[in-house]
Amino acid sequence: MADDLSKISGRKISVLYGSQTGTAQEVAERIGREAKRRHLSASVLALDDYDVTRLIDEELVVFVCATTGQGDEPDNMKKFWRFMLRRNLPSNSLSGVSFAVLGLGDSSYPKFNFIAKKLYKRLVQLGGTALQSLGLADDQHELGPDAVVDPWLKQLWEKVLKMYPLPPGKEIISASQRPQSRYRVKFVDGGLQAANHSISIEVDSVEKQVKPNPSPCRRHPFCSRLISNNRVTAVDHWQDVRLVQFDIKGSGMSHSAGDVLMVQPSNLADVVEEFITFFALDPNRTFLLEQNDPDIPLPYQLPQPCTIRHLVEHYLDIQGVPRRYFFELLSHFTTSELEKEKLQEFCSAEGQEELYSYCYRQKRTTLEVLQDFPGASGNIPFEYLFDLIPPIQPRAFSIASSLMVHPDEVQLLVAVVNYKTKLVKPRRGLCSTWLASLDCCNKDIRVPVWIKKGTISFPKALDAPCLMIGPGTGCAPFRGFIEERVSQSAGCCVLFFGCRNSKKDFFFKEEWQQLVENGKLQLFTAFSRDQEDKIYVQHRLLENSSLVWDLLAHKQGWCYIAGNSQRMPADVTEALLEIFMKEGTMDATAAEEFLKTLERTRHFQSETWA
């Protein structure tokens, strides 16, 4: 921890993050911890939680930001970014500020780390001094973002220590010294009865301070009733895909084509029981949290006080794959030299390939790792669970329905993640498996949800031609758009849909065939396993190259890709470039320039996921 000397002498660093998931926050918190080991005062905040007017008074700021969708800023950075783009900001506004920017991105997207690049450029425009070059981490790297983050941070700390030399008589606090826990835990006597009493007092006091019925958001989700939860793939098909319908009546929420539903999942019941049993916890015991570090606020997701069962079921991401700091912190608790050596190897820069093989390739969960290191897990103080295990993150799903056709309702097309690795137990997706397990006949079940703008946006003009390429569950946002168009008697929708088998995973088959018969939709299908030679959507695009070229070049149409991010987007993009060269009589350079023009004008958009 930083000492008082750091605050008196102005040795301060602000670490600000913008992230759609928890990755940027994890990296920002890592920077904050390492700053305190160097006797610096460090505050770690989401960009929209930071008072941007203070930026001109900062000496050193590190930005960690992710890019979403079509090169957009993440949700918790939007207000900050709007302010930074103001044209009336003087060009010397940040002349006293030294900064560093680390981007977290995915190179499968066309605008890789776009926001980090724009932020870096804007900070320079406003007179800021770059402490070091822009860092561009890539999720697609076989070692993940750490392949860039590690060397970038090593260089950062070398430069920070030149700017802020260690105080006289001080040394960098050794990583071998156990850090203090982020929270203090106080167990409450009297069990659930005392807890319920305290909660009612807390709710009463909060209700007096906040507006009633806030719009549903991450902090205030709407607890939706499940209308239906039906499997839409054949029983003998390899994958379970669900059409899940939510009742949003009375929520005040509305949505348009391209929007997404955010779902806050819980851990699976069997995993919760396994975790509680492994640690010999009393699930009904209640506790209060208190701050141990003024820079780290208490988690808003947890009631005060909270039961251990609620904590494990709804908050701790025990089914997630642990990050690197998990192994570093875990090494402080083991009584086994063998375990300590292995844990320290995993958290070192040199041990990342070994960590990848053990943890990331197999998708080993936090609970499974804890079971593999009994000498450490048997000595973990309860309060350190909050440091070891991050909170469960919400999941985003493209909305597959239109309010014009399904009032007061949201429908999702959810592929249940379940696959084998070398581990005995199959890997299960937390949210998809949890949703699939819910019984819509149980009227007491409620799912915390809220709606966000999606990364793709459809044209407002009803006569604008739209070419949509959505294999598998990638068709979800297009189903909502097609419903919206048809309900307004608009047309010119062209959909390229692909799946394995026409009789097993052809989603919305009857709906779309009826629209085709009524002249409302042009549908091209690719069933990869219905014949000896595999046929994919890119093959159907090439077969209909004149139609594709006419829509995009002559009719100024819009082109959308949605689906898995592995090979499909690259294969489809390659097919489009081939079409441009053939139908537009272009060379490769001209075809790529035409595609860039479509991207720049948002006439070409993609929404892909791992």
Annotated binding site: 19-24, 66-69, 104-113, 139, 395-398, 429-432, 473, 528-529, 534-538, 571, 609
Q: What is the DSSP string of 323-387?
A: -HHHHHHHTTT---HHHHHHHHHHTSGGGHHHHIIIIITTT--HHHHHHH-HHHHTT--GGGHHH
The answer to whether 143 touches 352, Cβ cutoff 8 Å, is yes
* Closest to 128 (Cα-Cα) out of 60, 68, 34: 60
Instruction: Report the amino acid identity of residue 360.
Output: Y
Query: Binding site for FAD: which residues?
Result: 395-398, 429-432, 609
Largest CA distance in the chain: 82
Burial category of 278 from C-beta neighbours within 10 Å (exposed 0-12, middle 13-18, buried 19 and up): middle
Residue 215 structure tokens: 């719009």
- Asked if residues 122 and 114 have their Cβ atoms less than 8 Å apart, the reply is no
Q: How far apart are CA 81 and CA 67, in angstroms?
A: 12
**DSSP letter string over 460-528?**
SSTT--EEEE--GGGGHHHHHHHHHHHHTT---EEEEEEES-TTTS-TTHHHHHHHHHTTS-EEEEEET
Residue 480 has φ and ψ, to the nearest 5°, of: -60, -40
The C-alpha atoms of residue 25 and residue 65 are separated, in whole angstroms, by: 9
The sheet with strand 558-564 has its strands ordered as 522-527, 493-499, 466-469, 558-564, 604-609
Is 250 exposed, middle or buried, given 0-12, 13-18 or 19+ CB atoms closer than 10 A?
Answer: exposed
Structure tokens at 409: 């309702």
**Would you list which residues are annotated within the binding site for FMN?**
19-24, 66-69, 104-113, 139
* Separation CA 126–CA 147 (nearest Å): 30
Query: In three state form, how does the secondary structure of 450-464 look?
Result: EEECCCCCCCCCCCC
Contact 450, 217 (CB under 8 A): yes
